[in-house]
Amino acid sequence: MSRLNVAPTKSNQLILKRNLQIATGGFTLLEQKREILVMELMRLLDRAKLVQAELAVRRQKAYATLRQALAYNGYHHLRNIAGGIHYNHQIKTSTRITAGVRIPTITIQHGEFQSQFGFASTDSLVDQTMVDFLDLLETAGRLAELETSVWLLARELKKTQRRVNALEQIFIPNYKDTLRYIGEALESKELDSFFTMKMVKKKLTQADEEALDEATETPTPDRQPATSS
């Protein structure tokens, strides 16, 4: 039981009633938002898992090729070749909005595979490395996008959860308790005034009757004690 520190008046009651209405409305909305966020998170996590599996496959292939290439050609030779490689990857980001969260979508335009080194003194492993790593890169980019989205949604979910809890556990019970208290206080006040009114009315009628009695009948000594009791 906790209630707000307000005076039990009619106007406060009206204000609180409106606040409670707003709080319950907000609560319903936030609860819906939370559900949407959870659903979206689940979906993205499933997709991230798929992409991760794909990444693992491509990575194993690419890394095996690279290790082989390293073994055949040596680090320095490969580095010389790699120094001449240039791809123009274009990246564009846009945002899409889910449940009030701005989620980035990354579109990457990959450079197409092309031979960028002389055929002499390079072997097929070098070509293969390049192909494999381009594939790998594409998947890594998608994973980065998914993971970022998941982090964003998780952060928003946490915030929403906190708000839902605050409304459900603190604000709404507070308003309800205070309203009940004000209602009771107003009722007892009303009862009090009703009672006072009754008393006043009784006194007034009594006074009236006495005045009437005195006016109509001449007071007799034996009737006087009977009326005053």
Nearest approach, Cβ of 24 to other proteins (angstroms)? 25
Name the residue nearer to other proteins (CB basis): 11 or 86. 86
Nearest approach, Cβ of 95 to other proteins (angstroms)? 11
Name the residue nearer to other proteins (CB basis): 3 or 110. 110
DSSP string, 38-70: HHHHHHHHHHHHHHHHHHHHHHHHHHHHHHHHH
Nearest approach, Cβ of 96 to other proteins (angstroms)? 14
Nearest approach, Cβ of 111 to other proteins (angstroms)? 6
Nearest approach, Cβ of 23 to other proteins (angstroms)? 24
- Cα–Cα distance between 162 and 159 in angstroms, integer? 5
79-87 CB contacts, 8 Å cutoff, 24+ apart: 81/117, 81/122, 81/126, 84/116, 84/117, 85/116, 85/117, 85/130, 86/116, 87/111, 87/134
Q: Are strands 90-98 and 101-109 parallel, antiparallel or unpaired?
A: antiparallel
Helix (H) or strand (E) holding 95: strand 90-98
Name the residue nearer to other proteins (CB basis): 23 or 153. 153
Name the residue nearer to other proteins (CB basis): 82 or 211. 82
Nearest approach, Cβ of 27 to other proteins (angstroms)? 19
Looking at residue 31, its amino acid is E
Q: For the purposes of burial, counting CB atoms within 10 Å of the CB of 8, is it exposed (0-12), middle (13-18) or buried (19 or more)?
A: middle
For other proteins, the binding residues (CB under 8 A) are 38, 41-42, 45, 48, 55, 59, 62-63, 66-67, 70, 75, 78-79, 82-83, 85-93, 104, 106, 108, 111, 126, 129-130, 133-134, 136-137, 140-141, 143-145, 147-148, 150-152, 154-155, 157-158, 161
Name the residue nearer to other proteins (CB basis): 70 or 172. 70
Q: For the purposes of burial, counting CB atoms within 10 Å of the CB of 181, is it exposed (0-12), middle (13-18) or buried (19 or more)?
A: middle
Name the residue nearer to other proteins (CB basis): 24 or 161. 161
- Cα–Cα distance between 213 and 209 in angstroms, integer? 6
